[in-house]
Amino acid sequence: MTTQTTASDTPSAPAAGTQTGLIGIPPLLGRALATAGGALTVISTFLAWTWTSDFPGDLTVYGYPGGLQVLVLIGGALTTLLGLASFGVKGLRWLVPAGADAALKFAALATFGTVWYTVIAISVELGGLVNLEPGGYLVAVTSLATLLGALALPFRRPEPDPIDPDDSRWEHTRHRAAHSWETVKAAFSADAPPAVRRLPAYAEILVIVVVLALALTVFTYGIGTAYDELFIGFLITAGFGFGALSKSGLIAHASQITSRHQNITVCGAFVTAALFPFTQTDDQYATLGVYILIFATVALGLNIVVGLAGLLDLGYVAFLGVGAYAASLVSGSPSSPFHVHFPFWAAVLVGAAASLVFGVLIGAPTLRLRGDYLAIVTLGFGEIFRITANNLDGTSGPDVTNGSNGVSSIPNLDILGFDLGAQHDVGGFTIGRFANYFFLMLVITAVVVLVFRRSGDSRIGRAWVAIREDETAALAMGINGFRVKLIAFAVGASLAGLAGTVQAHVTYTVTPEQYLFAGPIPPNSAFLLAAVVLGGMGTIGGPLIGASLLFLIPNKLQFLGDYQLFAFGVALILLMRFRPEGLVPNRRRQLEFHEEAEAPTVLEPTGA
């Protein structure tokens, strides 16, 4: 008789009551402690945590959570639901298709981290623990109990299939066949976790709508955090909460649903993004929104070069600068030496064409290089562009870019009589200048996404992937490597120039200092590359999400001063350690970094 040892951590899995985690108490007791602690934490958010409103968020109100208490409420509710699902409560098993124990640990960490950060912040800012009300002490104890209960849950990983080197090929094949049959039987046994059933099409579309609405809510909350302490708590809750949903299998399940309805998901994502300005009462956060879209669009263009073609470009921000300078010089700026004012569509074509030409001129002599040599050359191009723009000031060179002063006083766009620099009333909502540019940039992002999808699925896209995986093998199969890489370079450069035309009008001024290799605030080449890698190379959603995070987080961490980049670097290290394939990885990269996930099930003999 055999039993199944799987990666599942549901309570029904074999030996769940005999294995222990970091805390030497029975897992069943730990699960109960974590669930009860999460419920008590939710209750404690309705109590006052401090006696004075000097701490931001006003945590002195009974019966109404506010500020950081809302984040703790969300973390405690998630912990409670996952704990109940781990007990097999009917109606909640869908929350944990991949098992509950690992997800419960992350949810408990989210709750504990936010609570204790708040307690410590209150003590430091107000002058000691004496400033805590009974609710503050209660939530500290209950969140600690929740974490201890979660740490008592067992850790189990799938083991690799042992291969006997003395077995012949026939014996090994027969062993694997018997192994597979036993695995199939075990999958239908009572001990195996239930398989996730495929939902009807209308239900899957409803799931996509819910996911997009949740994403808009989280993004709007994060970008609109009113004070620094709330944003730190948001990062803790959102980071560990995402880990909990990922470990539970909900993220993977939602990804499968969206992959089956890609067109609906993409259209729904743009509709959701278009709703963002209507959630804002002024242009304060719409400003961040339009800059995030510019950064994300450029990152998506870089994803063609790096993610699809596998070409490491360290000077990509220069193409953004070429497009911005070209558009600013023909858009009616008084500091432009050309003294022309092209309409928007013509300025867009000029910016994209200028970047395309520079992409071909730089790529033609350099793309015969590979790897680190190509990276060094592109890094040099980025620096050459910035230095050249500084020198074209009429003194060191021709008067074209006005040197370090840049091209200033760039007028607002006027498209078909619609002034993007003025406020407009739409359906009772007042749409300001940055909201207007947000909608324009959203249209340009849609164009870039369309180009990325069509090119990635085309013959040239498959050639890019072949070059990325093994250039020597691709050349042996008849692919013209130089031509394919030059097309990738040119397309990526033109998309960056397209975004640069809008950036020039949004910022009013284009200066060389905006296009550095690295700096505290994006966009720059280092942040663009990080957005592609951290978001997920070769995907559409990855660079968009990665760019959003990499632009938002540094802006919100400015209160740290000199420690801003240190904290940001630590966050990047943790993300690459625990999510090396990116936030939205494709299947190939996910298997490269998590081969243990594909390890076959191990069957171990047990007593009768």
pLDDT tens-digit profile of 204-214? 889 889 999 99
Nearest to 101 by CA among 157, 140, 144, 170: 157
Q: What per-residue confidence (pLDDT) applies to 588?
A: 64
Whether residue 122 contacts residue 131, with contact meaning beta carbons closer than 8 Å, is answered with yes
| 191-199 average pLDDT score | 54
Q: Most distant CA pair in the chain: distance in Å?
A: 91
Average pLDDT, the chain: 80
The CA distance from 242 to 5, in Å, is: 27
The amino acid at residue 482 is F
Q: What per-residue confidence (pLDDT) applies to 183?
A: 42
SS3 436: helix
Confidence of residue 148 (pLDDT cuts 50, 70, 90): very high
SS3 113: helix
| pLDDT exceeds cutoff 70 at 395 | yes
The CA distance from 532 to 528, in Å, is: 7
Burial annotation 184-194 (CB, 10 A radius, 16+ → b, else e): eebeeeeebbe
Whether residue 528 contacts residue 398, with contact meaning beta carbons closer than 8 Å, is answered with no
Provide the terminal-to-terminal Cα distance of the chain, rounded to the nearest Å: 7
Q: How many helices (H) and strands (E) does the chain have?
A: 21, 6
2: left (phi over 0), alpha (psi -120 to 50) or beta: beta
pLDDT digits (tens, 9 = 90+) for 229-271: 899 999 999 989 988 998 888 888 888 888 888 888 888 888 9
- Pick 355 or 557 by higher pLDDT: 355
The CA distance from 386 to 378, in Å, is: 13
Confidence of residue 140 (pLDDT cuts 50, 70, 90): very high
Q: DSSP label at 3?
A: E
The CATH number that domain 280-546 falls under is 1.10.3470
Rg of the Cα atoms in the chain = 27
Cα angle for residues 406, 422, 446 (degrees, 5° grid): 75
Confidence of residue 107 (pLDDT cuts 50, 70, 90): very high
Q: Give CA separation, 202 vs 254, 257, 264, 365, 396, in Å.
A: 14, 11, 12, 53, 65
| pLDDT exceeds cutoff 50 at 134 | yes
Tokens of 459: 């013959």
Domains in the chain: boundaries? 2-158+189-252, 280-546
Parallel, antiparallel, or unpaired: how do β-strands 2-5 and 602-605 relate? antiparallel
Contacts 24+ apart (CB under 8 A), 165-172: none
| pLDDT exceeds cutoff 70 at 59 | yes
- pLDDT > 70 fraction of the chain, expressed in percent and rounded: 84
Instruction: State whether the Cα torsion 399-401-405-407 is positive or negative.
Output: positive
Q: What per-residue confidence (pLDDT) applies to 190?
A: 35
